[in-house]
Amino acid sequence: MNKSDFVFVYNKNVAKYLKENGIYSITTGLHPTTNKMFSLFVKSECLQRVLDQYKNNK
């Protein structure tokens, strides 16, 4: 696996929406330069579908 197999989510609302829809992050962390919190997800069709739903519902 490499970096392109993952999705970094820096928006807390998006991460919460994913969790509410049954998609859980594999970890959370802080960006080393900006200190912004992120959630890390494994890229999948299901993840993309839920991200698209979130985008369309905004």
Task: Tell me the per-residue pLDDT of 9-48, one tens digit each, with 9 for 90 and over.
Answer: 999 999 999 999 999 999 999 999 999 999 999 999 999 9
Looking at residue 39, what is its pLDDT? 98
Name the band, by pLDDT with cuts 50, 70 and 90, for residue 1: confident
SS3 state of residue 34: coil
Looking at residue 43, what is its pLDDT? 97
Looking at residue 58, what is its pLDDT? 78
Q: How many domains does the chain have?
A: 1
Range of the domain at 27: 3-57
In whole angstroms, what separates CA 49 from the centre of its chain? 12
Q: Are 37 and 30 in contact (CB under 8 A)?
A: yes
Would residue 22 be called left, alpha or beta, if left means φ above 0 and alpha means ψ between -120 and 50 degrees? left
pTM, two decimals, is 0.90
> Does the pLDDT value for residue 55 go beyond 90?
yes
Distances (CA, A) of 54 to 1, 17, 34, 48: 26, 7, 25, 10
